[in-house]
Amino acid sequence: MITKRSQYADIPFFISPNRFTGDLNLVKDLSAIRQSLKNVIMCNQGERPFDFLFGASLYKNLFDNLTHELIIDIQTKIATNLKRHENRVDITNIIVREVSGTANTVNITIFYAIPDIGVEDVITIGISRNR
């Protein structure tokens, strides 16, 4: 029997052992890529002790008015950091929208392709600032 071998595998955010084997459960392929994208976007620069440039540092912009210039700045930060830290994907589009009815909350939608496994996907990440 031939089984498909996973192209990518990462350790999940919430580590839990498999209850039958005791081994760590892994996130694989598309789930691993999605987790990595969220990780890069949600981190602030300086949070990682051995890579001070890791992260998009978006939280500091959430108290600002969402102008066209700020949207371009956020898109640039995301694209730059994903290119630097997640080279498994090709970003095709990034959309930043303010969530109506809520203050200090934006939705970031990223359209991307994973050339190694021939998949195109979309992920939406909500970022909010709690006072």
Each residue's pLDDT tens digit, 71-112: 899 999 999 999 999 888 999 999 999 887 776 788 999 999
Query: What is the predicted pLDDT for the residue at 131?
Result: 56
CB 82 within 8 A of CB 53: no
CB 26 within 8 A of CB 11: yes
In order of start, what are the domains of the chain with their CATH numbers? 9-128 (3.10.450.40)
Whole-angstrom Cα distance, residue 8 to residue 117? 10
Select the highest-mean-pLDDT range: 6-10, 32-36, 95-99, 121-125: 121-125
